[in-house]
Amino acid sequence: MTTIYLTRHGETEWNLAHRFQGQLDSPLTEKGRLQASWLGERLEEVTFSAIYSSSSNRALDTAKIVRGQRQMTIETRPDLREIMLGKWEGRIIQGIEEDDTENYNYFWKKPHLYQPEVGETFEDVINRSYKVLEEIKEKHEGNVLVVSHGIVLKSILCAIEKKPIRELWKGPFMVQTSLTILESTDQGFDIIKAGDTSHHRSFE
């Protein structure tokens, strides 16, 4: 059996600035690094057979902190990167909402209708990210850590639960370094935890 520990990267500078990141990048904040350390402490006694990360630096830096003192290589995968948002990437969210109102509303309220001029649909993200989990299931036994992004995590859960894309946003929002645990089955995966943040602490 393979147990996958899925998490999102820690808080970044662009999260604070309310900018869409997508496949662009910004560094972890002090709080983001602390969030990763809290998760690392929670998982300190877990023996991992492998660690995977999105190739984006914010995810890789999170993975390195969570890895702690383990002498393990982190395998980076472009297919675990966040949704490609095209012209929206790097922009303040309020400006996108004002300039591209219809598609912005589709993105959050009717994800099955979201069709960017440049970038990926949610279906694109589901297809590429779920394949990575299937590869991990075939390649590894035991516990595997996977560090990725909020929409990727929601897409993976959508695939596991066989929900239509219109229901992608149902269920817990994947906040920074929340923990989702999956166990492999003959049919796919069972969801043991989704978006758990019991390791989070107050940040002053």
Query: What does the pLDDT read at residue 204?
Result: 66
Backbone angles phi, psi at 93, to 5 degrees: -60, -40
Record the tokens describing residue 61, joined without a space: 């830096």
| Domain map (residue ranges) of the chain | 8-145+156-196
**In which band, very low, low, confident or very high, does the pLDDT at 203 lie, cut at 50, 70 and 90?**
confident
- Select which of 9, 11, 120, 149 is catalytic: 9
Predicted model pTM: 0.96
Would you say how long the chain is, in residues? 204
9 catalytic residue (yes or no):
yes
d(CA 166, CA 147) in angstroms, rounded, equals 25
149 sits in the region (left: phi over 0; alpha: psi -120 to 50; else beta) called beta
The candidate with the shortest Cα–Cα distance to 176, out of 50, 26, 31, is 31
pLDDT digits (tens, 9 = 90+) for 112-152: 999 998 999 999 999 999 999 999 999 999 999 999 999 99
**Protein fold of 8-145+156-196:** Rossmann fold (3.40.50)
Radius of gyration of the chain (CA): 16
Class of residue 126 by CB neighbours under 10 A (exposed 0-12, middle 13-18, buried 19+): buried
Q: What is the sign of the dihedral through the CA atoms of 102, 12, 74 and 191?
A: negative
Spatial separation of the C-alpha atoms in residues 96 and 40, rounded to whole Å: 35
Catalytic residue (one of 11, 75, 82, 98): 82
Chain segment 59-116, per-residue pLDDT in tens: 999 999 999 999 999 999 999 999 999 999 999 999 999 999 999 999 999 999 999 9
